[in-house]
Amino acid sequence: MPKIDAYEQEVLSAFDKGQLKSVATKAELAKFKAAARATAIKDRRVNIRLSSGDLSDIQARALEEGVPYQTLIASVLHKYVTGRLAEPSPAKQPRSPATKRRATSGS
C-alpha cells in the first residue's frame, strides 16, 4: 500500500469517524455514479505481444504501485487515449531495468 502523508492520514481518520459531509447535490451524485459505471465497464478483451523485458518492467512497476500488472496496463492505455498521459521531462526520465540490461549487455 502506498505511504500516506499526515494530511491524508487526517482526512482518512475524519472519514472513518464519520466527520466528513458530502457537499454534492443528489443530481451531481447521480451524474458521478453514472460516469463511474460507464468508466468501470470493461466489456472487451485484448491480446497483445510484448517483449519479455517490457513485461518484466511493467510487472515490477505494478508491484511497486501495489496493483495487478494488467490493471496498470489498462490504466496507462486509458490515460493515453484520454490525453492525460504526460511524458516525464528528458532530464528526469529514469532508465528502466531493461534499458540498462540492453545498454550493458553488448560490452
Summarize pLDDT for 84-100 with one digit per residue, the tens: 888 877 765 555 555 55
Q: Tell which phi-psi region holds residue 27, choosing left (phi > 0), alpha (psi between -120 and 50) or beta.
A: alpha
Summarize pLDDT for 58-83 with one digit per residue, the tens: 999 999 998 899 989 998 998 898 88
Residues 6+ apart with CB under 8 A from 88: 94
Is position 71 within any domain? yes
Is position 54 within any domain? yes
Which has more confidence, 53 or 87?
Answer: 53
The pTM assigned to this predicted structure is 0.49
Is position 5 within any domain? no
Which domain, by its residues, includes 56? 45-83
Handedness of CA 74, 80, 83, 87 (dihedral sign): positive
- Give the count of domains, the chain: 1
